[in-house]
Amino acid sequence: MSTAELSASLLGEQAVVYLSTVNPDALLLEPREWYDPCITGVAAHHEDDWWAEQRDEDALPVFVYDYDLLVKAFMAHAEPEGSCSVDEAQEFVDFNMAGAWVGVGTPIIVTSFSEDEDEYDLDAPTEEAP
């Protein structure tokens, strides 16, 4: 396990412990052994969200997952091993996770971009800075 993966895994564990007390109804993606390492933090939907206006209580925090990590986790567990393309994994994550609304505990899925990224592409080779 790389340092980045270990860091993400520990952050996911901290988020699970925190939200188990603050918002036990926050939803976790299943299977957890695949997707908990993709948790990058917690966030609350802002009060200007359409669903927040329907409730009397304050916005509760939910889990935040990294889109790229979800795609990679799905690909890593595809059966038979290596049988899932990036496009297939993205379609699965888009439809079943990012496109799902299952109530106020629905997780937030974010895509992070670094300043050196010109375009989002999981298959693009990495280039070293001059």
Q: Given CA atoms 15, 17, 19, 25 in this order, what sign does their dihedral have?
A: positive
| pLDDT tens sequence across 61-89 | 899 999 999 999 999 988 877 788 999 99
> Can you tell me the distance from the alpha carbon of 86 to that of 104, in angstroms, rounded to the nearest whole number?
29
H or E element in which residue 10 lies: helix 3-22
Place of tokens 């966030």: 43
pLDDT, tens digit, 9 for 90 and up, residues 80-124: 777 889 999 999 999 999 988 888 788 999 998 766 655 555 555
> Considering the entire predicted model, what is its pTM?
0.72
